[in-house]
Structure 1
Amino acid sequence: MEIEEETFSQETFATVMQSLVVKIEDNRQNLEVLFTDDAWPPLPVIKSVPNMLREENGQAYTPSVVSIGPLHNRNESLKTMETDKLRYMCFLFERTKNLEQTRKDCVEAMSRKEKTFKKCYPDCKQEVDDVTSSSRLVEMMLIDGCFIIELIYRHYKIVKKDTLEDKKDPILQDAFRHSTVLRDLLLLGNQIPFFAPEELFHLTVKSIMPGANLFEFVL
């Protein structure tokens, strides 16, 4: 059915135009803020789960064994994994030719991103502020990012049927724990910005495997 072009009232047109001009002028200060660099949070943005979803089933959005990033960091039931995360980070550093230099480079890389990390959690300011003292946020991104990279590296070696240096793996040898960790890493909010593990991958795995690609490892 063809829609005929309709005529419009000049009076209505003029009224709407005038009303818009008044509204824009009255709100000019608020509108100008929208065009500043700080108006919109940078991507990637990591959101907390909306209360509406948590009220339905809060456990479905809460990690069971491992906390990644600041949003669940205060959950005491997840503290037991902190030692394993540190252990994984140490294993990752030891794979490189120069452990001390790699550690220094990784700390420096994460330190440069401190302000960006804070902006990646726009609706969770309190949680982020709670972990920023003494550069704890940077340290958290470093440890969690290295943990993820080492876990991915170990999966990759298994898929390629290569042997691992440490056969007493605290995660991969426990099928239940392994599947639970993987489930936790996919939870909304239990995440860190992708550029963190991406840069850590470049400084660690890629330094010993020049042709390595993080996306291939993830897949």
Structure 2
Amino acid sequence: MTEMLNNLEPPLSTDCCIYRVPYRLRKLNKESYTPKVVSIGPFHHGNTRLQTMEKKEVRCLNSFLERVGLNLNLEDFVSTIKQLEGRIRGYYEETIQLSSNDFVKMILLDVNFILEMVWKFDESDLSPWLHSSLTKDFILLENQIPFFIIEKLFDLAFPFLPNSPSLIQLTVHFFALFNVQKFEPIPNKRIKHFTDLLRIFQLPPPQSPKSETKMVFPKYSATQLREAGVTFKVASSKCVLDLNFKKGCWKSHS
């Protein structure tokens, strides 16, 4: 027992927000939670099926450094990630079994790949099929890295871009297909990672102060409600959380 207590892992960081998909969900459809094109972060790092794109990440790093120019070099980015390594690791539910050098290398390649893809999409230099595949992989919970480190390297690389879009604007544009509520980037809005951004996209628009409409969530399944005499209709809203129940009729986006 003493040995077990001595080998206890430290408590989870308050930043922890990147998890493995629970087994009971994963077993229903494993492919739904597994990246198809690119591994981002440590959970699927080294997957042999994704090695082709991992090799392309190195080319993207070279393109990114050329885009940055002579103001910064590779060591500047490595040093920044190294300083924040502990905080980055704290975002993950489990201890990441990678050496410091391998972890920093993975984060550097993944961040630069993301930034290059976002830039190329904004410049209309990314093929539709690749963009579609990447967005699906980028929103998977197990395929995440903290947004703050992406933002940190972006700000380090491009400190003065007065006439260019911000990282959050570029990111929202990249994921526009999922932005059903037409979410507008808000200064200082904290985004944990891309899956969290997808969650934000699904939130209903702010209610007017004068509005008396309240969010309604069912306590029973659709089958139970239908058996009780409730009818269902498709609402005009595209928000999955915009639910309404009135006069025996339940309205939702689907």
In the superposition, the TM-score normalised over structure 1's length comes to: 0.68
Per the alignment, residue 85 of structure 1 pairs with 57
Q: List runs of 5+ in structure 1 lacking aligned partners.
A: 1-37, 159-163, 165-171
| SS at 2:145 equivalent | coil
Residues of 2 paired with 1:140 and 1:217: CA distance? 23
Per the alignment, residue 68 of structure 1 pairs with 40
Per the alignment, residue 113 of structure 2 pairs with 147
Instruction: Report the CA distance between 1:146 and its aligned residue.
Output: 0.8
Q: 8 Å contact 1:96–1:208 — kept in the other structure? A: no
Q: Does 1:137 align with 2:109?
A: no
| Letter of the 1:144 counterpart | D
After superposition, residues 1-219 of structure 1 pair within 5 angstroms as 39-98=11-70, 101-122=72-93, 124-125=94-95, 128-129=96-97, 132-133=98-99, 135-158=101-124, 172-173=126-127, 175-204=128-157, 206-207=158-159, 209-211=161-163, 212-219=165-172
- Structure with the bigger percentage of helix: 1
Instruction: Report the CA distance between 1:210 and its aligned residue.
Output: 4.1
| Letter of the 1:154 counterpart | K
- Structure with the bigger percentage of strand: 2
| Letter of the 1:108 counterpart | S
Residues of 2 paired with 1:59 and 1:184: CA distance? 11
Instruction: Report the CA distance between 1:39 and its aligned residue.
Output: 4.1
Instruction: Report the CA distance between 1:76 and its aligned residue.
Output: 0.8
Residues of 2 paired with 1:78 and 1:191: CA distance? 15
Residues of 2 paired with 1:198 and 1:97: CA distance? 18
Look at both structures and tell me which one has the larger radius of gyration over its CA atoms: 1
Residues of 2 paired with 1:147 and 1:41: CA distance? 27
Instruction: Report the CA distance between 1:116 and its aligned residue.
Output: 1.5
| SS at 1:95 equivalent | helix
Relative to structure 1, is the Cα distance of residues 135 and 116 closer, same or farther in structure 2, using a 3 angstrom cutoff?
same
Q: 8 Å contact 1:85–1:143 — kept in the other structure? A: yes
Q: Which runs of 4+ in 1 moved over 4 A?
A: none
| Letter of the 1:112 counterpart | Q
| Letter of the 1:50 counterpart | P
Instruction: Report the CA distance between 1:112 and its aligned residue.
Output: 0.5
In the superposition, the TM-score normalised over structure 2's length comes to: 0.59
Residues of 2 paired with 1:91 and 1:55: CA distance? 39
| Letter of the 1:61 counterpart | Y
Instruction: Report the CA distance between 1:102 and its aligned residue.
Output: 3.2
| Letter of the 1:42 counterpart | T
| Count of residues in correspondence between the two structures | 162
Q: 8 Å contact 2:121–2:131 — kept in the other structure? A: no
Instruction: Report the CA distance between 1:193 and its aligned residue.
Output: 0.6
Residues of 1 paired with 2:162 and 2:33: CA distance? 37
Residues of 2 paired with 1:67 and 1:140: CA distance? 10
Residues of 1 paired with 2:154 and 2:16: CA distance? 18
